[in-house]
């Protein structure tokens, strides 16, 4: 991604998170980036395309982080621990992305359905790990869909904690809190 496209991407993410998708105009984006509309349209055909690119790249980042980290681990409990830590780190580093995904999750419009689809695909990855952990006897019997949704919910919890804590998160301290609560419940 070239410098201008990255700046449009990052600015759009910030504005969508702060103002919301509907309240952010192409003019807001171009004014904040400091480029002409033509330059923006050279990189993205519409605001919707910017949004779609943002969601797809963000989810890809999250999924790739999980895939890389969990593929190196044998234990399903260790895989869940890795997911917990990655989710906290993602919230800290990409708060705007998480805000957008969560704010656009609800509804029936194409944009909402796109967010739902990507989030469900991610949760399905977690669910597969949980199912395998149950089959291997590492994780107690339970509804793998519910457990995976709960683990995904840590993203929401970490974001709320960050907001309630004036934007401050000690990643390892929060990880230890979440890890002990979730892992003890799974054993």
The answer on 20 and 103 residing in a single domain is no
**What residue numbers bound the domain in which 21 lies?**
1-45
Query: Does one domain contain both 40 and 114?
Result: no
The span from the CA of 57 to the CA of 38, in Å, is 23
Q: What is the pLDDT of residues 101-129, one digit of tens each?
A: 889 999 999 999 999 999 999 999 999 99
pLDDT surpasses 90 at 77: yes
Residues 6+ apart with CB under 8 A from 36: 30
136, 75 contact by CB (below 8 A): no
Q: Are 41 and 91 found together in one domain?
A: no
Query: Does pTM surpass 0.85?
Result: yes
Q: Are residues 134 and 51 in the same domain?
A: yes
**Residue 17's domain is classified under what CATH number?**
1.10.10.60
DSSP state, 62? H
Q: Do 18 and 84 fall into the same domain? A: no
User: What does the pLDDT average to over 83-87?
Assistant: 93
Q: Look up the CATH number of the domain holding residue 152.
A: 1.10.357.10
Q: Are residues 164 and 88 in the same domain?
A: yes
pLDDT per residue as tens digits for the range 23-66: 999 999 999 999 999 999 999 999 999 999 999 988 888 889 89
Could you tell me if 117 and 167 lie in one domain?
yes
Based on the structure, what is the number of domains in the chain? 2
Residue from 160, 158, 186, 185 nearest 174 by CA: 158
- Model confidence band, residue 187 (pLDDT cutoffs 50, 70, 90): confident
């Amino acid at each position: 991604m070239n410098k201008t496209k990255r700046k449009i991407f990052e600015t759009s993410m910030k504005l969508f998170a702060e103002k919301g998708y509907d309240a952010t105009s192409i003019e807001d984006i171009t004014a904040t980036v400091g480029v002409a509309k033509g330059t923006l349209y050279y990189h993205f055909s519409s605001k919707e395309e910017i949004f779609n690119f943002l969601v797809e790249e963000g989810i890809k980042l999250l999924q790739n982080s999980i895939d890389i980290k969990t593929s190196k681990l044998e234990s399903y409990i260790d895989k869940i621990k890795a997911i917990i830590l990655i989710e906290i780190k993602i919230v800290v580093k990409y708060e705007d992305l998480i805000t957008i995904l969560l704010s656009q999750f609800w509804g029936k419009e194409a944009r909402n359905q796109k967010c739902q689809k990507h989030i469900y695909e991610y949760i399905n990855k977690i669910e597969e790990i949980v199912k395998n952990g149950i089959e291997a006897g590492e994780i107690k019997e339970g509804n793998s869909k519910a457990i995976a949704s709960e683990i995904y919910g840590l993203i929401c919890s970490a974001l709320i904690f960050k907001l309630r804590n004036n934007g401050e998160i000690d990643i390892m301290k929060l990880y230890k809190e979440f890890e002990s609560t979730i892992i003890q419940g799974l054993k």
